[in-house]
Amino acid sequence: MMNNLSVSKLPRRIEGLNELAYNLWWSWHIEARQLFKALDNALWRTTGHNPVKMLQQIESHRLVAAAQDPMFLKKYDSVINDFKDAMSGADTWFNTQYPHLKQHTIAYFSLEFAIHNSLPLYAGGLGVLTGDYCKESSDLGLPLVGVGFMYPQGYFHQHISADGWQEEVYEQLNFNEAPISPVLTAEGKPIIVEVPLDTKSVKVTVWQVNVGRAKLYLLDTNVEGNSQTDRELSARLYAGDQETRLQKQIIIGIGGVRVLRALGIEPTIWHANEGYTAFMTLERVRELVAKGIKFTEAINAVRATTVTTIHTLVPGVSDTFPRELIAKYLHGSWESVNLDTEELLKLGAQGSDNSTFSTTVLALRMSNYRNGVSQLHGGTCRRTWNHLWPDKEEKDVPIGSVTNGVHVPTWIAPQAARLYETYIDKDWLKKHDDSAMWDKVVDIPDEWIWAMRRWLKNKLISAVNERARRRWIEDHVNPEQALVMGGLLDPEALTIAFCRRFTGYKRATLIFHDFDRLKRILQNELQPLQIIFAGKAHPNDEHGKQLIQKIYNSAKDHEFGGQIAFVEDYDMHIARYLVHGADVWLNTPQLFHEASGTSGQKAALNGVLHLSMLDGWWCEGYNGKNGWAIQSDAETSNPAEHDNSDAQELYRMLEEKIVPLYYDRDINGIPHGWIQIVKEAIRSNTPLFSTRRMVKEYTERMYLPAAENKSPSY
């Protein structure tokens, strides 16, 4: 089952690069990245920081030279030793704290995983969160396997036309150049499982991705023997009509369970990350009934070992289906063990008439452990799904919350990491969830914080300029488009970033509510402000695309002076520059519509200040001294009045607080008042909003009780 790189190409002395390239552990360890970069810096850049592709293209003489270079070999030996130690997992948190549970595998199901740009299997925040979760599980030593889809066309690349309209460009993933391996049988053939769909069966094969100690198993329907339609089921993320979406959800649920069985993996705990994967609970019920266990007992057994995390705030079209459609595609599975179709349909019934079936409802009913992704969101979930427990008051609905976090090693800027290493603790990264340790951030000299922040912003502006230049050269966009993409950004100006999915409730255009007032703020010659926008709209979201078009066309306005930019094709690569280099991270959702949001957490750990509605994680993170909260007028129920009130408050804060504070400098040009808030943002947010805290919380509150057959507590 190994890989596509010829080991013979690598000199024996450095053949460990082969295994390292095929384990994405390197993506969150700077020394490992620098090792590949040292082989050929230019090739490292042109291959998109993809070591598999790089090692396939590199000239042999460079490898021979590296194998004889004492300096390179010293780095190589250090990285390989660290890698081997990490893979052993002997002294990890989980193995140290719970050695009796290390054989209890956790199966983590999700529709998308974002680990690195070399494997573009994600659309946005949900995928980045799951990728961060897998990395942290590896760091902490959790026995976790991920189950998802292998999308050969992934999510789309975004181009913006001259008139501001989003265009979706799909590229076929070259499997030979990606850090993936086919899962093979002992005879060297691809593992194949079959998933019943209506009157047919769809064949599913599987690919493996190594994420440190964690393994991802990605399902692929592009298999000989399937119809062309079925082969394309796993081609793209979130593509297709309602019927196609249902088939995908059935395949990841039923097919995911069957793949794990075929691999000999017997999970103790099953974690459904969003309701899209809920059919794995029905497959496990079917298995138990086939063994002779009664239907009710089978349901209770599955519930006792199932965790469900809900990210959405309200039921949506993507997880609700007519009952006839459910019966059509699942009857083959159910009838094989004589299960009662009506009883199964009730498990996902959206209402009392059983006319619609919700996979979110199914997930909630089939789990004993349920949570939202922030404290505020947990409350919203209890209110939204109270009707599933009509005998309980809202406060007693059995849905808790575990607030999302970010994987600190992935999202920390190297310059910030070195600063923390010098002034906070040499081993700060190993214990970054220790809140007391972060009190030392006050010891960092203001001038060093400021130098770090200026360096990172310069790097961001350079990266945006380079993207615009590349589009101009390679795709022949007109000069005006290149300027809109950031060609006139100023590294000295206060820089706000608004970077997220473009959909109505996130209100990307709120800051344009009063064009004249915004222009006055931006065009202050003594205290200039600029705004960088980035993000994609779902291909079927016309309103989201219109929001992008409005911003893009506004950026063309000469009166804005090039101080508004729209950066195309927001992905993990450009996201790093943005969360490292912006000064302020802006978030303006309609109140109580943001489940959690994690991009601001990534920014905060690098000293980027948050300006947001008190929604999602910021409701927990804001302490009055570590950023700014836009106080919404909750007395009005009129959306237009809400928007106007929130926009006026946003402008007031920019004019009276944020902009003046940024430009209030001493004789050496240091804004001490601003840096005081930067330090507090780092101190208060980094330990609490990390995946380290998050994964530990899931482990102790959900995984351990499930493994030990204990009742949940909310």
> Which of 257-261, 292-296, 590-594, 705-709 has maximum average pLDDT?
257-261
Name the token pair of 249.
Answer: 């959800």
pLDDT digits (tens, 9 = 90+) for 294-345: 999 999 999 999 999 999 876 555 688 998 999 899 887 777 777 777 888 8
| Whole-number pLDDT of residue 636 | 66
Query: Where does the pLDDT of residue 711 fall: very low under 50, low under 70, confident under 90, or very high at 90 and above?
Result: confident
- Residue 416: alpha-carbon gap to chain centroid: 22
Per-residue pLDDT for 236 more than 60?
yes
Distance of alpha carbon 693 from alpha carbon 695, whole angstroms? 6
Q: Which superfamily is assigned to 99-404+696-707 in CATH?
A: Glycogen Phosphorylase B; (3.40.50.2000)
Question: 495 has which bridge partners?
Answer: 530
Name the token pair of 5.
Answer: 């790189």
Mean pLDDT over each residue of the chain, to the nearest integer: 93
Query: Where does the pLDDT of residue 500 fall: very low under 50, low under 70, confident under 90, or very high at 90 and above?
Result: very high
| Whole-number pLDDT of residue 158 | 94
pLDDT digits (tens, 9 = 90+) for 151-167: 888 788 999 999 999 99
- Residue 564: alpha-carbon gap to chain centroid: 26
- Domain 435-688: state its class: alpha beta
> What stretch of H or E contains 300?
helix 295-304
Mean pLDDT, rounded, for 254-280? 96
Please report, rounded to a whole number, the percentage of residues in the chain having pLDDT higher than 70.
97
Q: Give every CB contact of residue 324 below 8 A, 6+ residues apart in sequence.
A: none
| Whole-number pLDDT of residue 4 | 45
Distance of alpha carbon 458 from alpha carbon 350, whole angstroms? 51
| Whole-number pLDDT of residue 129 | 96
pLDDT digits (tens, 9 = 90+) for 49-104: 999 999 999 999 999 999 999 999 999 999 999 999 999 877 899 999 999 888 89
More confident site: 409 or 319: 409
301 φ/ψ sector (left φ>0, alpha ψ -120 to 50, else beta): alpha
Distances (CA, A) of 628 to 614, 619, 650: 9, 11, 10
- For the chain, where do the domains classified as CATH 3.40.50.2000 start and end? 99-404+696-707, 435-688
pLDDT digits (tens, 9 = 90+) for 173-231: 899 999 999 999 888 999 999 999 988 999 999 999 999 999 999 999 999 999 999 99
Query: Where does the pLDDT of residue 2 fall: very low under 50, low under 70, confident under 90, or very high at 90 and above?
Result: very low
pLDDT digits (tens, 9 = 90+) for 668-680: 999 999 999 999 9
More confident site: 638 or 623: 623
Distance of alpha carbon 352 from alpha carbon 274, whole angstroms? 23
Per-residue pLDDT for 634 more than 90?
no
| Whole-number pLDDT of residue 318 | 61
Q: Is 507 exposed, middle or buried (0-12, 13-18, 19+ CB in 10 A)?
A: buried
Per-residue pLDDT for 369 more than 90?
yes
| Whole-number pLDDT of residue 522 | 93
Distances (CA, A) of 238 to 247, 380, 499: 12, 25, 20
The phi and psi torsions of 708 (rounded to 5 degrees) equal: -100, 10
Distances (CA, A) of 365 to 248, 341, 480, 707: 21, 16, 54, 19
pLDDT digits (tens, 9 = 90+) for 110-150: 999 999 988 988 878 888 999 999 999 999 999 999 999 99
Q: Are 618 and 629 in contact (CB under 8 A)?
A: yes
Question: 321 has which bridge partners?
Answer: 357
Name the token pair of 376.
Answer: 């505020």
| Whole-number pLDDT of residue 5 | 44
- Residue 681: alpha-carbon gap to chain centroid: 22
pLDDT digits (tens, 9 = 90+) for 698-708: 999 999 999 99
| Whole-number pLDDT of residue 316 | 57
Q: What share of the chain is helix, strand, coil (3-state, %, to 5)?
A: 50, 15, 35
Per-residue pLDDT for 637 more than 80?
no
